[in-house]
């Protein structure tokens, strides 16, 4: 806990009335720097702090989409809490008379967003230089600028997250400094299971907002499982009419129309989050088989399933009808997904033998490739002959049971560290516990380079934290499990190992609790964190 430093002021009045003793008044101190993920390098500079004033402006060339997105995101955070106009202008000459205040009201300071071809920081890196009169964020791309904006947001006092003018939570200062930052991994993901319980587009957007704040750039959406089919397929309306109105525990379920899905993609893209769709197959597919009993290979006719066992269902790998249906599904989803990936699940198949499974994965892989996407599958797919571009998503133990093809790309999602649906402790009401208890330190204190064995010559392209929704019915419950573990994983994926220590992280994280209170984000008050 940082107590305000007390400053001794000997005012002129005190000097003239020399009998009086000096008085002490508290002065607000800038908060300790608590940026998550911790930047690659941050050097405090001598000189005055930067302050946002009523005359401040955001300077950006909004004719380019990257600067427009970053500037819009910045203004959306700063305007409500500061109560200032904060116009977005191409240069200072173009500030309208509307924001000119009496000259003595304040200094004009600016936040400048610049794209520079030679920033040398890759597609997502940025530099941030805060000085007396300006903060300048420079990046090669809109993504880098957007990430820099999230850093600036976290450098400001936590009151900046308030939805209403919060003048007493200022002053809105940033210490003079220079940050140079870029991510360790290109794939920094979160997975949301909208199949076991359905989440509305508004709820998914709330989740995307959290991803964006912590520089996560992938939202993998688990769109179908035994309990529900959640995406409209225009050539097969029966998949949703019969497969969507159900969920775990017997709730109403629901699904995204293709236009809902497009809305999510746009919302995510504005925040530099890529949506990766998953249709889980050949198991986890009961919801689709309800309308296609002919594809269940003579097993008992599928009915609505609202419990949480896994592995029992399978779409028949020996029926051509299976591939006709899946071709339509993959074609439609590929067409509405800008990301170059399609996740086909592939996990926990109990109802097929190894030959059937391998045949199925091979056929589906060629369909995915036909529609121009790279296939991703849970680690079980590595048991089959995969195309070199296919990505394996590790999830089970601390070592990959099946070697991934040499040079093949792997995403780490090990349940013992990254599963957000594991309980924090024995006392956590929500969540499951098959992979153990994952309190915040478990999620944070590991190194992707060494934690998982058996990866052979595979290349780890990043990390992804899945949130399975068997036990959670709404975004408030989702946030309880995700926060604060998701920011922990975000730092694992972004920051250099040499910059990360648990002791430092837990102190930085504590400050974020106050941001979440203002943002209306629910979280678990882990006893490991000095809130
Ligand atoms: C395993 S992880 C599953 C999911 C469950 C999850 C619960 C994976 C690929 N399959 O079907 O929801 O455990 O933690």
Whether residue 23 has pLDDT greater than 70: no
Which CATH number among 3.30.379.10, 3.40.50.620, 3.90.79.10, 2.140.10.30 corresponds to the domain 41-181? 3.30.379.10
Query: Which residue has the CA at smallest separation from atom 8 of ligand 1?
Result: 347
Are residues 384 and 353 in contact, defined by beta-carbon separation less than 8 angstroms? no
What integer pLDDT is reported at residue 17 of this predicted model?
A: 39
Is 3.20.20.80 the CATH number for 187-519?
A: yes
Q: What crossing angle do the helices spanning 142-155 and 201-213 adopt, rounded to 10°?
A: 80
The pLDDT value recorded for residue 198 is: 98
Q: Which residues contact 362 (CB under 8 A, 6 or more apart)?
A: 384, 385
Output the CA 256–ligand 1 centroid distance in Å. Answer: 22
Ligand 1, closest atom to CA 193? 12
| Segment 266-291, tens digit of pLDDT | 999 999 999 999 999 999 999 999 99
What was the pLDDT predicted at 1? 35
Q: How far does residue 310's CA lie from ligand 1's centre (Å)?
A: 8
User: How many angstroms does the Cα of residue 23 sit away from the middle of ligand 1?
Assistant: 63
Distances (CA, A) of 38 to 160, 179, 496, 500, 509: 19, 10, 9, 8, 11
CA distance 524 to 521: 10
pLDDT band at 79 (very low <50, low <70, confident <90, very high): very high
User: Residues with Cβ < 8 Å from 499, sequence gap 6 or more?
Assistant: 38, 39, 40
Ligand 1 atom showing the smallest separation from residue 225 Cα: 11
- pLDDT, one tens digit per residue, over 417-471 is 999 999 999 999 999 999 999 999 999 999 999 998 888 788 999 999 999 999 9
pLDDT digits (tens, 9 = 90+) for 232-261: 999 999 999 999 999 999 999 999 999 999
Q: Could you tell me the pLDDT band of residue 124, with boundaries at 50, 70 and 90?
A: very high
Check pLDDT > 90 for residue 173: yes
* Best probe residue, ligand 1, of 347, 376, 478 (max atoms within 8 Å of C-beta): 347
pLDDT for 400 beyond 80: no
Residue closest via CA to ligand 1's atom 5 equals 468
Residue from 310, 395, 416 to probe ligand 1 pocket by mutation (most atoms less than 8 Å from CB): 310
- Cα-to-centroid distance, 434 and ligand 1 (Å): 10
The confidence score (pLDDT) of residue 13 equals 37
Task: Tell the residue nearest (CA) to atom 10 of ligand 1.
Answer: 347
**pLDDT of 182 above 50:** yes
Q: What is the signed CA dihedral for 282, 288, 289, 290, rounded to 10 degrees? A: 160
pLDDT 10s digits, 56-71: 999 999 999 999 999 9
Candidate from 308, 346, 468 with most ligand 1 atoms within 8 A of CB, to mutate: 468
**415 CA → ligand 1 middle, Å:** 9
User: Which atom number of ligand 1 is nearest to the Cα of residue 468?
Assistant: 12
Q: Which of 303, 351, 340, 346 is nearest to 326 (CA)?
A: 346
Q: Please state, in angstroms and rounded to a whole number, the distance separating the CA atoms of residues 531 and 177.
A: 26
Ligand 1 residue neighbourhood (C-beta within 6 Å): 310, 347-348, 378, 395, 419, 421, 432, 468, 470
Q: Is the pLDDT confidence value at 189 over 70?
A: yes
Atom of ligand 1 nearest to the CA of 310: 11
CA of 134 relative to ligand 1 center, distance in Å: 48
Per-chain mean pLDDT for the chain: 92
Angle at 282 between CA 465 and CA 381, to 5 degrees: 60
Take atom 2 of ligand 1 and give the residue whose Cα is closest. Answer: 395
Per domain, the residue ranges of the chain are 41-181, 187-519
User: Is residue 299 over pLDDT 90?
Assistant: no
What whole-number percentage of the chain has pLDDT above 90? Answer: 83
Nearest atom in ligand 1 to the alpha carbon of residue 395 is 2
How many Å lie between the centroid of ligand 1 and the Cα of residue 344? 14
Q: Which of 419-451 are b and which e, b meaning 16 or more Cβ less than 10 Å from the residue's Cβ? A: bbbbbbeeebebbeeebeebbbbbbbebebeee
- The protein residue whose alpha carbon is closest to atom 7 in ligand 1 is 468
Provide DSSP, 197-250. S---HHHHHHHHHHHHHTT--EEEEE-EETTEE-B--TT-THHHHHHSS--GGG
* Cα 193 to ligand 1 centroid, rounded to whole Å: 10
pLDDT reading at 208 higher than 90: yes
DSSP state of 426: T
Q: For atom 11 of ligand 1, which residue has the closest CA? A: 310
Enumerate the active-site residues.
Answer: 348
**What's the length of the chain?**
531
What is the pLDDT at residue 30?
A: 52
Instruction: Tell me which of 226, 466, 485 to substitute to probe ligand 1's pocket, judged by most ligand atoms within 8 Å of the beta carbon.
Output: 466
* Closest ligand 1 atom to Cα of 435: 14
């Amino acid at each position: 806990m940082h107590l305000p430093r007390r400053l001794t002021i000997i005012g002129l009045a005190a000097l003239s009335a020399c009998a009086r003793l000096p008085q002490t008044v508290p002065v607000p101190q800038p908060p300790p720097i608590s940026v998550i993920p911790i930047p690659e390098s941050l050097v405090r500079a001598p000189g005055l702090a930067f302050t946002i004033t009523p005359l401040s402006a955001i300077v950006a060339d909004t004719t380019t989409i990257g600067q427009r997105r970053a500037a819009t995101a910045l203004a959306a955070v700063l305007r409500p809490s500061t109560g200032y106009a904060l116009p977005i202008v191409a240069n200072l000459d173009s500030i309208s008379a509307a924001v000119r205040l009496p000259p003595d009201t304040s200094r004009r300071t600016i936040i400048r967003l610049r794209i520079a071809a030679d920033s040398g920081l890759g597609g997502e890196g940025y530099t941030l230089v805060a000085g007396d009169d300006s903060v300048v964020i420079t990046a090669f791309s809109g993504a880098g600028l957007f990430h820099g904006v999230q850093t600036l947001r976290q450098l400001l006092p936590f009151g900046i997250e308030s939805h209403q003018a919060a003048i007493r939570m200022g002053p809105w200062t940033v210490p003079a400094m220079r940050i140079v930052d870029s991510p360790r991994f290109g794939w920094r993901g979160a997975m949301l299971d909208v199949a076991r319980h359905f989440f509305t587009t508004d709820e998914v957007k709330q989740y995307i907002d959290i991803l964006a704040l912590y520089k996560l750039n992938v939202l993998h959406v688990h769109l179908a499982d035994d309990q529900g089919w959640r995406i409209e397929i225009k050539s097969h309306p029966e998949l949703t009419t019969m497969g969507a109105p159900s969920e775990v525990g017997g709730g109403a379920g629901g699904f995204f129309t293709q236009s809902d899905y497009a809305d999510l993609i746009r919302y995510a893209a504005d925040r530099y989050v890529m949506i990766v769709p998953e249709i889980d197959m050949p198991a986890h597919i009961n919801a689709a088989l309800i309308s296609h009993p002919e594809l269940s290979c003579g097993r008992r006719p599928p009915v609505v399933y609202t419990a949480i066992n896994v592995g029992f269902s399978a779409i028949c790998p020996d029926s051509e009808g299976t591939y006709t249906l899946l071709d339509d599904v993959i074609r439609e989803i590929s067409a509405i997904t800008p990301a170059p990936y399609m996740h086909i699940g592939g996990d926990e198949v109990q109802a097929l033998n190894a030959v059937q499974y391998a045949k199925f994965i091979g056929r589906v892989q060629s369909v995915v490739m036909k529609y121009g996407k790279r296939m991703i599958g849970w680690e079980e797919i590595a048991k089959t002959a995969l195309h070199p571009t296919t990505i394996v998503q590790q999830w089970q133990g601390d070592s990959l049971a099946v070697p991934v093809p040499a040079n093949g790309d792997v995403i780490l999602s090990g349940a013992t560290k990254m599963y957000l649906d594991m309980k924090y402790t024995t006392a956590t009401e929500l969540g499951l516990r098959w992979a153990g208890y994952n309190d915040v330190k478990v999620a944070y204190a590991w190194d992707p380079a060494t934690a998982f064995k058996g990866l052979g010559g595979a290349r780890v392209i990043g990390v992804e934290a899945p949130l399975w929704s068997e036990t959670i019915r709404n975004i408030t419950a989702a946030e309880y499990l995700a926060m604060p573990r998701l920011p922990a994983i975000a730092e694992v994926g972004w920051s250099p190992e040499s910059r990360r220590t648990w002791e430092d992280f837990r102190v930085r994280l504590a400050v974020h609790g106050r941001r979440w209170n203002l943002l209306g984000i629910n979280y678990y008050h882990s006893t490991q964190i000095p809130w």
